[in-house]
Homo-oligomer: A and B are copies of this chain.
Amino acid sequence: MMAGGHDLDAFFHPRSIAIVGASERGLYPAGVLRNLMDYGYRGRIYPVNPRRETVFGLRAYPDVASLPETPDLAVVITPRRATLSVIEQCIRKRVPAAVIITAGFAESDDEGKALQDELARLVADSPIRVVGPNCAGLANVLDHAIVTRLPVPPLPGNVGFVSASGALMMALYGVFSDHRLGLSKLISLGNQMDVTLADSLGYLAADPETQVVGAFVEGVKDGRAFVAAARTAQAAGKPIVLVKSGRTDAGQQAAATHTAALAGSDRVFQAVCRQFNLVQVDDVLEMTRTVQMFSAWAGRWPAGRRVALVTQSGGMGSLTADLCSLAGLALPPLSLQLQERLQAMGHLLTFGDLGNPTDVRGSGAAGPEAGETLLPFLEDPETDVVVLLLAKSAVRAEDVATAKSIIVAARRTTKPLCVVWTGQRVPVGDVSWPLAHRLLVEAGVPTFDQPSDCIHALRRVIDWRAAPLAPQPWGERSPSQAQPSPASPRIGGRGADTLSSCQSTALLAHYGIHLIESEVVQTADQAVAAARRLGYPVVLKALSLDFSHKSDAGLVRLNLADDESVAQATSELFQALSGHEMEGVLVQRMAPPGVEALVGVHEDAQFGPVLACGLGGIFVELLDEVALRLPPLRAEEARAMIEETRLGRLLAGVRGQPPADVDALVDLLVKLGRLAASEATRLVSLDLNPVIVLPAGQGVKVVDVRVVWRER
């Protein structure tokens, strides 16, 4: 196949391309061919169209079979009913890759769904890889292989972009062009029948020509592959900046009719982004701006959080200082050395304040001498990034000189610099694009319209840079390879079911997790003996899978303090259970007071088992706040998970309470993570509810467990 060795290489480095359905009219039938010709594609192009001799002067072939060679890539732009036979021909011709631009499949009507199913079966049984259907094509900008229709010439660069929406990819291409954002590769995913979002991200993460990845995402079909791609990108030092739609019911409904994407749980997706350092933003221009900052600074990202603000306007300075503060960025006071150096430039500082922000109004600092003012900041070893704030009422000729001066200073160091340039961009009467802005951006100085646009992007870059590499999820082996542990319960062939108390206890014990001291008994006498061994007061729980809410059914008795009450309560419970399937009665030591935590695992349709941890008790409803992670976890991730919610604050001790045993909870989460990763294919859900976290040094008490299990 291709030289690169990656199974998607044929899409991006084709030596020859067949365009099935090429024509001299039509957005794509003509557009793809024209793009290849106009933007300098160097390989061989074969139009396929039985009704034409030539297309735009190139010889046309009646079908794929009659092509003079096997093309590396076939582009399919035929009516939907013809696609099946075209792909059959491609497979017979051993074409390694096809892009189906044609729409009208699973996103459309019943006939379309049936067609796509048939197409999917065909493709699954052959080595061909397919992008689409219902997509806008793809492009390798550096190689001039533009297999889509780009209305303006592509600007080469280090940004790879993947989109679940074709129309939005085209619109964003226009936005990127305005922002002078250089691209390496573009991929429109369409219905992701074969090549998925995860495949594409994985390809870009490994692509040496791509340093930064942008993505518009609707749903994630294969969560595990998605996570693997995210981790590959992180390991390679490449940020992935994404916008995801389908986060709410309204958005999911809209997405479903659009690309038939299953959007999944937004909370889990957000947790995955946090865990694997994916940069999730809220909208497409925010993505563009963030990608632009990453792209401009690739390889020389800020070393820390120390920002120096240099401002022409006091108002912009205070506004931006607020934004930095709210974003967790530091504005340290200027070093004495820097102050001295600036004081020596007295002409700049008529009314200025040598603080942070440094106010440089009343000087030439916002004009053609701006670079002179900036240099001391750029060269200051105690500054990680410099932000220049300009307030400009009108576009002026001197703006270009200002921009050039800033660029000269920026090039004298590797310190990241960005500019906020608020004010007029479009002069009335004299129509000209603000050249100054464009010069800055093209010179690698990200330039923004208002402070928040800059500071939000900066925070993303700095946070991304500071995040540690996430651990490999699901441990050493993939979940499908996981072997049942010796303690793995058998529940017979009934699909998913709740485990019995004994089965649950054994499963947990295998992973080193122990419930609070308890014994299962069958008589009142046994109960009393057990209660004496455990120590009063005790709790009794009737064990029967027929009741899912034991407390509501009156099958739990709390705080029993003597033999008599234990004996009587036991009898009552057995009476209540008569006629039901039962395991016995559980005698349990009363948990000492502590902080009530919620700990559990549930299976997500996209991402498999997900660990959850947060405050328990009334806080579950009151706060609706839980930290989520994919297992397994290292201790530091478990600790971060605890600190992510108010559980962390309560455990640290509020209102004079002693700090709680966070280490013991960390240990529990790590063990539970190991269980969840190893039992990924069988575990449907597991709730430890509640877990009582005792004062530091005294451990945790797991009071109850409920496991839903599935036979493979």
Give which listed residue, B174, B282, B318, B450, contacts A218 with CB less than 8 A: B318
For chain A, the bracket of interface size reads 35 or more
In the complex, the answer to whether B391 meets A315 with C-beta atoms within 8 Å is: no
Known: A171-B393, A171-B423, A431-B431. 17 other contacts (CB 8 A): A107-B314, A164-B315, A167-B313, A171-B313, A171-B316, A173-B393, A178-B425, A218-B315, A245-B318, A245-B321, A247-B322, A250-B322, A250-B324, A252-B318, A253-B355, A254-B355, A283-B453
Contacts of A255 in B (CB 8 A): 314, 318
Provide the residues of chain B in CB contact with A393, threshold 8 Å: 150-151, 170-171, 173-174
B359 and A392 contact, CB distance less than 8 A: no
Measured CA separation A167–B311 after assembly (Å): 11
Q: Which residue of B lies closest to A168 (CB)?
A: B315
Given A254-B321, A313-B165, A318-B258, check contact A175 B424 (CB 8 Å): yes
Interface membership of A428, Cβ < 8 A: yes
Interface-lining segment among A222-230, A271-279, A646-654: A646-654
CB-CB < 8 A to A391: which residues of B?
A: 167-168, 170-171
Of B319, B351, B621, the contact of A245 (CB 8 Å cutoff): B319
Residue A443 lies at the interface, judged by CB distance under 8 Å to chain B? no
Residues of A214-264 whose CB lies within 8 A of B = 216, 218, 243, 245-255, 257-259
Tell me which residues from 417 to 454 in chain A have a Cβ below 8 Å from any Cβ of chain B.
422-428, 431-433, 449-453
CA–CA, A370 and B178, complex, Å? 25
Option from B259, B283, B450 in Cβ contact (under 8 Å) with A450: B283
- The answer to whether B424 and A151 have CB atoms under 8 Å apart is yes
Interface check A413, CB cutoff 8 A: no
Closest B residue to A655 using CB positions:
B618
Contact residues of A between 609 and 668, Cβ < 8 Å to B? 617-618, 621-623, 646, 649-650, 654-655, 657
Residues from chain B with Cβ under 8 Å of A317 in the complex: 254, 258
> Is A152 located at the chain interface by the 8 A CB criterion?
yes
Question: Cβ of A623: which chain B residues have Cβ within 8 Å of it?
Answer: 646
Q: Which residues of B contact A250 (CB under 8 A)?
A: 321-322, 324-325, 331
Q: Could you tell me the distance between the alpha carbons of A291 and B140 in the complex, rounded to whole angstroms?
A: 42
8 Å CB contact of A259 from B171, B314, B357, B427:
B314
One of B167, B424, B657 near A174 (C-beta < 8 A)? B424
A167-B251 CB under 8 A given contacts A424-B175, A646-B622 = no
Interface mask (A283-316 → B, CB under 8 Å = 1, otherwise 0): 1111000000000000000000000000011111
- Report yes or no: A174 in contact with B359, Cβ–Cβ below 8 A: no
Q: Which of B152, B450, B655 contacts A427 (CB 8 A)?
A: B152
How many angstroms between the C-alpha atoms of A283 and B452 in the bound complex?
6
User: What separation, in Å, do the CA atoms of A664 and B428 have in the docked complex?
Assistant: 62
Bound: A654/B621 CA distance, A? 7
A153 contacts B by Cβ under 8 Å: yes
A427 proximity list for chain B (CB < 8 A): 152
Mind listing 16 A-B residue pairs with CB under 8 Å?
A165-B314, A167-B313, A171-B313, A171-B422, A175-B424, A248-B322, A250-B324, A250-B325, A251-B322, A255-B318, A257-B353, A258-B353, A258-B359, A283-B452, A285-B449, A618-B655
Residues of B within 8 A of A428 (CB): 152-153, 177
Q: Which residues of B contact A450 (CB under 8 A)?
A: 283-286
Closest to A109 in B: B351
What 1/0 flags go to A388-417 for Cβ under 8 Å of B?
000111110000000000000000000000
